[in-house]
Amino acid sequence: MSSALLNLILSATAETLYMVFVSGVLSALVGIPLGVLLYVTRPGQILPNATLNSVLGIITNIGRSIPFIILMVALIPFIRILVGTSIGTNAAAVPLTIAAIPFVARLVEGSLNEVSPGLIEAAQSMGATPWQIITKVLLPEARGGIFTTLTITVVTLVSYSAMAGAVGGGGLGDLGIRYGYMRYDSTVMLITVAILVVMVQGFQSLGDYLVRKSDHK
């Protein structure tokens, strides 16, 4: 293998990790609070608000129903305004983040749903504020589930980032398509896939470790 190809593979790997990292962190920062809001504004919950709950629910569902490849293309004008260009890793991180936010939100909502209602009731009986219930009861009790959510999200982002590569996002997907597919270079294709497999395994193992560590049930 030539050193040029090696450099190509290394930089493509770094690009993929960068895209996954940026979109992972941003979607967690927005998606977790959104998931909490979806949960606590339900009727009968600690901050019931039917209007807000259904508006957020509809937005989340719309976000989840748009196929990623269409979302990417549809967002191009918006990405240009936001990042200045529609190609490159920064540009690719935008649709990745936007696609992952509703995904994270729904899974976090599901994790919170697993917390026993009795714990919320106990906290209320102790005079806890809704904010204290969220930060001291709901989120810590759902920690394992939230780590599982984030692991699934990151793994999904790895494969979505390969799709982003197809429209000029860079990264391993881009490399695989240009060298592996278009130039019939099966070595590059295999290496690309191998790196993606290792990456997914690594993220999954890290996630499993964090889930195990936070689980005292």
Partner 1 sequence: MATRQGGLFFAYPTFSSCSSSCSVARLRRPIVATAVANMIRLHNVSKTFGAGPRAVTALKNIDLHVPKGQIHGVIGLSGAGKSTLIRCVNLLERPTTGSVFVDDKELTALSEVALRQARHRIGMIFQHFNLLTSRTVFDNVALPLEFMKLSKSEIANRVTPLLDLVGLSDKAKQYPSQLSGGQKQRVAIARALASRPQVLLCDEATSALDPHTTTSILELLQDINQKLGLTILLITHEMEVVKTICHRVSLISDGELVEEAEVGDFFTAPRTQLGRHFLNDFLELEPPRGLIERLQGSPCENSHPVVRLGFSGDAVSTPLISRLARECGVDVSILQAKVESIQDRTLGLMIAELMGDEADTQRAIAYLESHDLTVEVLGHVQRTA
Q: Rule CB under 8 A: which residues touch partner 1?
A: 116, 118-119, 121-129, 132, 136-137, 140-141, 143, 214, 216-217
List, in order, residues 6 or more apart from 93 with CB less than 8 Å away.
18, 19, 22, 23, 26
Min dist. Cβ of residue 216 to partner 1 (A): 4
Min dist. Cβ of residue 145 to partner 1 (A): 11
Min dist. Cβ of residue 24 to partner 1 (A): 23
Count other Cβ atoms within 10 Å, centred on residue 105. Answer: 28
Report the residue number, 128 or 189, with the smaller CB distance to partner 1: 128
104 vs 60: CA distance, rounded Å: 10
Report the residue number, 145 or 165, with the smaller CB distance to partner 1: 145
Determine what percent of the chain falls in helix, strand and coil, rounding each to the nearest 5. Answer: 85, 0, 15
Report the residue number, 25 or 119, with the smaller CB distance to partner 1: 119
Report the residue number, 3 or 125, with the smaller CB distance to partner 1: 125
Q: Which amino acid is at 184?
A: Y
